[in-house]
Amino acid sequence: MASFIASDQDVKNFLTAPSMNDQEGIGFAYATDEAVLKALIPAPLKLMAPVVCGYVVHMGKPTFSAPYLEESLFALVSYKDKMMGAYPINLLLHGPGAESGIIAGREGAGIPKKLADAIELRRNDNSATATVERHGKTLLNVSWTAGELNDPSIMKQFAGQLALGKEAEMNSFFYKYNIDQHEDGTNHFNNVQLVATQLRSLADQVEPGNLSIQLDSTDDDPFGELKVLKPLGAAWFHFKTSVMFNTLKLDEVDAATTMTKLLTGRYDRSFFNPKAATYII
């Protein structure tokens, strides 16, 4: 019988080894303005290249929710010039499992996630398209055509991660924090930590191709800030498995200087300005 009281076993099993299995869609990369991208990366992380990477995928068998669609834009960064990985700038989710995916990611792992109004991913023979809509605009429109990459050299950066039939490990960097509510009702951020989540993924399908991409912005989602200077390439891929197997607590960081770069990917303008509202009847 269902109950508001969870069992001890449920508490023990809460978000144990979250996995995003049966993951399929378009991965892409493009060159952008180095100064703009660098300004978005909180210290002590360092930007490795003026390249925005991203994906739009269908998460077919996540272990923590029903299936959903997910979009992400991320940068390639380093920590203390030794540890390399991805720094996600944003993720938008849509579909039956989107709410659970946001809770698991944002509250559980510090991932910048929000709900999209709509995400569509379509493939037909040797081409595919993906669109991401939120608050009245198409923020991202991506097209992939099987064949030659726009810039073949970009594949070198992803050869290890996308090696067929071979498990690959990748680091993703996130910032976790606490929200402390004071007696007067104001909220403040504290205990801001840089963590690295390590993933182990197995790719069983990778089809490189040509990328066409357009970005747009709203006040809540300024995708257009990351201008497309040059499309580098795209691939249709399928991860049979993708498992978060380890989390490393790397650094305590300053809340005042760090949180300014974290909020937009996680919260809309209404959190900061009560006049920011949308009315749809």
Give the length of the chain: 281
Q: What is the pLDDT of residue 22?
A: 97
Q: Whole-angstrom Cα distance, residue 279 to residue 281? A: 7
- Cβ proximity of 55 and 72 under 8 Å: yes
Q: What is the pLDDT of residue 150?
A: 97
Q: Give pLDDT tens digits for 100-131.
A: 999 999 988 999 999 999 999 999 999 999 99
**What is the pTM for the complete model shown?**
0.95
Min mean pLDDT across 178-187, 226-235, 251-260 is at 178-187
Q: What is the pLDDT of residue 184?
A: 93
Q: Report, in angstroms and rounded to the nearest whole number, the Rg of the chain calculated over CA atoms.
A: 19
Could you tell me whether strands 68-79 and 45-62 are parallel, antiparallel, or unpaired per DSSP bridges? antiparallel
Q: What is the pLDDT of residue 159?
A: 64
Q: Give pLDDT tens digits for 145-180.
A: 999 999 998 877 776 667 888 899 999 999 999 999
- Cβ proximity of 271 and 263 under 8 Å: yes
Residue with the two structure tokens 């606490």: 178
Q: What is the pLDDT of residue 236?
A: 97
Q: What is the pLDDT of residue 160?
A: 64
Q: Whole-angstrom Cα distance, residue 138 to residue 119? A: 9
Q: What is the CB neighbour count within 10 angstroms for residue 121?
A: 20
What rounded mean pLDDT belongs to the chain? 95
Q: Whole-angstrom Cα distance, residue 187 to residue 109? A: 21
Mean pLDDT over 80-104 rounds to: 96
- Cβ proximity of 231 and 174 under 8 Å: no
Distance from the Cα of residue 2 to its chain's centroid? 34
* Largest distance between two CA atoms of the chain: 60
Q: What is the pLDDT of residue 179?
A: 93
Q: What is the pLDDT of residue 266?
A: 97
* 247 contacts: CB under 8 Å, gap ≥ 6: 109, 195, 196, 197, 198
Is pLDDT of 98 > 90? yes
CA distances from 60 to 5, 216, 238, 244, 281 (A): 29, 28, 10, 16, 33
Phi and psi for 162 in degrees, rounded to 5? Answer: -105, 20
Q: What is the pLDDT of residue 94?
A: 99
Q: What is the pLDDT of residue 85?
A: 97
Topology (CATH) of 21-163+202-241: Acetoacetate decarboxylase-like (2.40.400)
Mean pLDDT over 246-273 rounds to: 96
Phi and psi for 149 in degrees, rounded to 5? Answer: -65, 155
Q: Give pLDDT tens digits for 28-80.
A: 999 999 999 999 999 999 999 999 999 999 999 999 999 999 999 999 999 99
User: Higher pLDDT residue, 13 or 115?
Assistant: 115
Q: Whole-angstrom Cα distance, residue 13 to residue 97? A: 19
